Amino acid sequence: MATPHINAEKGDFAPAVLMPGDPKRAERMANLLMPDAKVVSDVRGIKAFTGEVDGKPLSIMASGMGQPSLAIYVTELFTEFDVERVIRVGTCGGLSDVVKIGDVVIANGAHYEGVINTHLIPETHFSAVASHNLVQAAWEAAEGDPGVVVAPVISRDRFYDVPREVDEAAARVGTAGAEMEAGALYGLAARHGKQALAVLTVSDHLTVDSVDMTAEERETNFQKALKLAVAAALS
């Protein structure tokens, strides 16, 4: 049954969905992993693809930018289309000096700004954490690669005008990167009894001077993160 934002039918989505932010990246991933994938939804230019990888069903769909956009799609996937796990495959800005441009962060938790998860437990600060089994599957797939770290990130509702001292404070408590979706994803998974993970490529650095990835590089340099996300999705 179609929803206001997904014009698919029951059974069109696999139990596991990879979710980049960018619709172009979603299509590129689908063409790379599942050349014969079927387009199962295309509302507002957000295409969703379903096919098979190594004989197992898999779907790929973009989330758009930001936690509110992701929350719409993920809520509908969890509640209307029998999706059991969503793995975000995206980028983040590096915060800790333990990560450099091109490294991959397996986000085991997400600090978050705003009120996206405050309704889940009244008068309590909700802990937005990934599903342990997915973290473990992605970490094992990394096979000891020193360019892969397991660490928390911070999920923000703003891209610009974040004070440098805020980034530095986050880095001091071991936060590897800043991004805009994982906190909502982890909260929704907890709310609906599902599983979630974010696997993020460090595309720029917010506390260390570096040369940022270009927009084209952000779109195409996802192979390592994609490998780990697929391992988690199909585990």
* Domain containing residue 148: 16-234
Average of per-residue pLDDT across 128-136: 98
Q: What percentage of the chain carries pLDDT values higher than 70?
A: 96
- Report the CATH number at residue 192: 3.40.50.1580
Residues labelled as active-site residues: 204
Q: Report if residue 94 sits inside a domain.
A: yes
pLDDT, one tens digit per residue, over 32-69 is 999 999 999 999 999 999 999 999 999 999 999 999 99
Whether 4 is covered by a domain: the verdict is no
C-alpha distances (whole Å) from 46 to each of 71, 125, 141, 160, 212 are: 14, 33, 29, 25, 27
60: in domain: yes
d(CA 125, CA 135): 22
Q: Confirm whether 134 is domain-assigned.
A: yes
pLDDT digits (tens, 9 = 90+) for 68-111: 999 999 999 999 999 999 999 999 999 998 999 999 999 999 99
pLDDT tier, 2 (very low <50, low <70, confident <90, very high otherwise): confident
Residues sharing a CB contact under 8 Å with residue 28, sequence separation 6 or more, in sequence order: 219, 220
Number of domains the chain is built from: 1
Q: Is residue 176 part of a domain?
A: yes
